Amino acid sequence: MPKIKKKGQAGQARNYITRTRAVKKLQLSLPDFRKLCIWKGIYPREPRSRKKVSKSATASTTFYYTKDIQYLLHEPLLQKFRDQKVLEKKISRALGRGDVNDASRLERNAARPDKTGKPRYTLNHVIRERYPTFADALRDLDDCLSMLFLFANLPSTTAVPAKMIARCERLCLEFQHYLIVSNSLRKSFLSIKGIYYQANIQGEDILWLVPYKFNQRVVGDVDFRIMGTFVEFYMTLLGFVNYRLYTSVGLRYPPKFDQLKDDQGAELGAFALEGVNIATNGDVKAITNGEAEHGPDPKVQAEVDKLVQQLRDESDEKAEETEEQAEDAAVEEDKPSDAIDKFEPVAPGGDVLPQPSYSSSDPAQLFSQYTFFLSRETPRQPLEFILRAFGCKRIGWDSVLGEGSFTTDESDPSITHQIVDRPVVQAAVSEEGDGEDNQTAQKIGPNHRYPGRVYVQPQWVWDSINDEEFKSPELYAPGASLPPHLSPFVKPTRGQYDPTIPLEEQQTEGEMIEAQLEEASRMREAEESDVENDMDVASDEDEEDEEDEEEGDFGGFSGEEDEAEGEEDEEESATLQRQRELEAEIAGKSVQAGKKVDAKTKAKLEEKKALERRQRQEAEDLERAKGMLSKKKRKLFEQMQYTNNKKSAEDMKLREKRRKLEKERRA
């Protein structure tokens, strides 16, 4: 007799462990376990068969890999948690005795672990474990940045201490500074949720969301302890990432932080970056808006430019190489370069191998020639960041927007572009408007324009950087209705609706015919209305006819009927035709109008019918072929078909709406 196997001793049952058992095994409290899981990146698994895995009678909901939990057993943090627990017990005991002094001493000691040996942890080793290489860390930076930028904009509460917010803000600003210096911001998108940014750092695309600068409402059930655990981890991560990024472009980390400027709302301007090699000369430069207070000092400007140029050279030589290539194409042949050569096929017939290419326009140079001024109704922070990241050196803004601007004087002659987001005020109001506008130092009429300056709405900046070219400013002039702002992250796929392509190029055959038919009917309507004016008597019947016909049309469109019905349809239309002729005779009207319409639409109708027939045929074939599939494959096929149909239905709806809109616009 074979050995009787006990249930739950082998196989899947040993590979999985429920959460309760995991917590028990680690001898932790549930919140500590949660923390540990979040930091170590342990997540539940879905066993193939829940029944086989669960050992208890009641259904367990969360399963972890046993191996994962075993791996947690050796975690140094575990000991810290336990120490913390012990300390908390001590403190609570002291408080229970009424010994406040003792409690505060214990707490104080807890905050100074290196002096007292009391619990305190760092997450350095966890980060190194989870991201063995820097590239791994970059890959996971999306959530990190979104979270930290959100927390940087949260109001401080008991759950979210002000210190945490300040640290998040600093880290975010430091990260932005890196993006500015390295010009690695690629795309940005104004959505209803906030502003999306995409940067490309060391070949890795990173996408994050920054909320608009408003007080964030917290509604519903949000556990800030969980978010806080994540933020703690992310802060450490971004700290290390920032360090690595700064050193990679030859900057010292952390950058110098000017508390005074920050208090005055300078944000990005509160940091002064120092180069590692320049620091040896004792030469400290604030890279961002160093000349802010004094206006453009050419000497300083030149130095700064040189510095930035130098840093950039170090960071990406390749980019620079292409730059040079663009600049002096004539000399290019002589110089040996380590850039990729372009392979041109000599003889036809070979395969084309794709090569990476650098875009012709360097993102670092897009705004470098211009001086911007931000009106006080525009969002300063995102605009400043984007403009700087795309090479702009001189940005001025109204003093109410905070410290650190290039100029607060709107009338500065060096300004080339002004970003405005206010409606155009009527002329009558404008005369009196001067008095009200007393917030700014200089009083200007609301519609006053400085000559030689381009006035645009903020969307112009976003659309320009996304397309890497200057959009025509007329489209974005103040008060103009803006062109739609499109997401730069959508990759156009074949067969999907694309709002940038004209409708005619993407609609299906059936839709096209339908549209043309409608067009024809509309034309006819117009004609008939002319006729109506002449003959009032026949109008009622005419309308009825039309309705009849249309019904017939739709009947034909709507479904896949059998062939027999199709035939009937034809018959029906023939009889209708006869009927119409008869009625026209009775009315004493010539059948010509109808005939004319027929001549126009007949071809279309026939085309439509042919299409329908073809579709029906295809459907039947499909049905037959499906019959030959095994059950499993058939289900798979139907699923795929379902999603495809759903997508195409959505696209069709969009096309329909657009057609309608276009028609309205034309009318």
Amino acid code (one letter) for 649? A
Residue 254 found at the interface with other proteins (CB under 8 A): yes
By CB under 8 A, name the one of 13, 26, 37, 273 that touches other proteins: 37
DSSP code, position 153: T
Q: Between residues 150 and 308, which has the closer beta carbon with respect to other proteins?
A: 150
- Which position among 30, 73, 86, 226 is part of the footprint of other proteins (CB under 8 A)? 226
Q: Does 143 bind other proteins (CB under 8 A)?
A: yes
Which of 233, 235, 191 is CA-nearest to residue 209? 191
Instruction: Please tell me the distance from the alpha carbon of residue 195 to that of residue 199, in angstroms, as a whole number.
Output: 13
Residue 561 interacting with other proteins (CB under 8 A): no
Shortest distance (Å) from residue 455 CB to other proteins: 14
Q: Which of 501, 633, 649, 663 binds other proteins (CB under 8 A)?
A: 633
417 vs 580, beta carbon nearer other proteins: 417
Residues 388-427 touching other proteins, rule: CB under 8 A, are: 421-423
Query: Smaller CB distance to other proteins: residue 302 or 622?
Result: 622
Size of the site for other proteins (CB under 8 A): 99
Q: Does 477 bind other proteins (CB under 8 A)?
A: no
- Which residues, at least 6 apart from 272, have a Cβ–Cβ distance to it below 8 Å? 255, 256, 257, 258, 284, 285, 286, 287, 288, 290
For other proteins, the binding residue among 159, 475, 652, 654 (CB under 8 A) is 654
378 is an interface residue for other proteins by CB under 8 A: yes
Decide: is 318 part of the binding site for other proteins (CB under 8 A): no
Q: Which is nearer to other proteins, 561 or 598 (CB)?
A: 561
Least distance (Å) between residue 424 CB and other proteins? 11
Report d(CA 114, CA 123) in Å as an integer. Answer: 16
Find the shortest distance in angstroms from Cβ 468 to other proteins. 18
Minimal distance, residue 263 CB to other proteins, in Å: 15
- Which is closer to other proteins, CB of 68 or CB of 403? 68
Smallest distance from other proteins to CB 88, Å: 20
DSSP 8-state assignment for residue 399: G
Binding-site member from 14, 139, 448, 614 for other proteins (CB under 8 A): 139
Query: Helices 66-73 and 19-26: crossing angle, nearest 10°?
Result: 20
Site string for other proteins, 155-184 (x = CB under 8 A): --------x---------------------
Asked, as a colleague might, if the bond just before 356 is cis with ω within 30 of 0, I would say: no
User: 549 to each of 152, 248, 544, 546, how far by Cα in Å?
Assistant: 64, 73, 9, 5
Range in contact with other proteins (rule: CB under 8 A) among 295-303, 366-374, 406-414, 625-633: 625-633
Indicate which single residue of 14, 128, 306, 448 sits in contact with other proteins (rule: CB under 8 A). 128
**Residue 295 sits in the site that holds other proteins (CB under 8 A):** no
Task: Give the C-alpha separation, 458 to 374, whole Å.
Answer: 9
Instruction: Give the other-Cβ count within 10 Å of 261's Cβ.
Output: 19
Burial string for 485-518 (b: 16+ CB within 10 Å, else e) reads: eeebeeeeeeeebbeeeebeebbeeeeebbbbbe
Interface with other proteins, residue 50, by CB under 8 A: no
Q: Which of 265, 296, 379, 566 binds other proteins (CB under 8 A)?
A: 379
Q: How far is the CB of 604 from other proteins (least distance, A)?
A: 25
DSSP string, 267-311: GGGGEE--BTTTGGGT-----TTTTTTT---HHHHHHHHHHHHHH
Region of 224-232, 262-270, 275-283, 550-558 interacting with other proteins (CB under 8 A)? 224-232
**Region binding other proteins by CB under 8 A among candidate stretches 51-59, 88-96, 592-600, 631-639:** 631-639
**CA distance readout (Å), 176 to 53, 180, 381, 390:** 48, 6, 11, 12
18 lines the binding site for other proteins (CB under 8 A): no
DSSP result, 505-568: HHS-HHHHHHHHHHHHHHHHHHHHHHHHHH-STTHHHHHHHHHHHHHHHHHHHH----HHHHHH
Side chain identity at residue 555, one-letter code: G
- In sequence order, the 6+-apart residues with CB closer than 8 A to the CB of 376 are 397, 398, 400, 401, 439, 440
Considering only 87, 326, 486, 652, the residue that binds other proteins (CB under 8 A) is 486
Q: How far is CA 56 from the centre of its chain?
A: 45
Task: Please identify which residue in 83, 88, 142, 572 interacts with other proteins, judged by CB under 8 A.
Answer: 142
Backbone angles phi, psi at 66, to 5 degrees: -60, -35
For other proteins, the binding residues in 198-217 under the rule CB under 8 A are 198, 207, 211-212, 214-217
Is residue 487 close enough to count as binding other proteins by CB under 8 A?
yes
Residue with structure tokens 């462990």? 17
223 binds other proteins per the rule CB under 8 A: yes
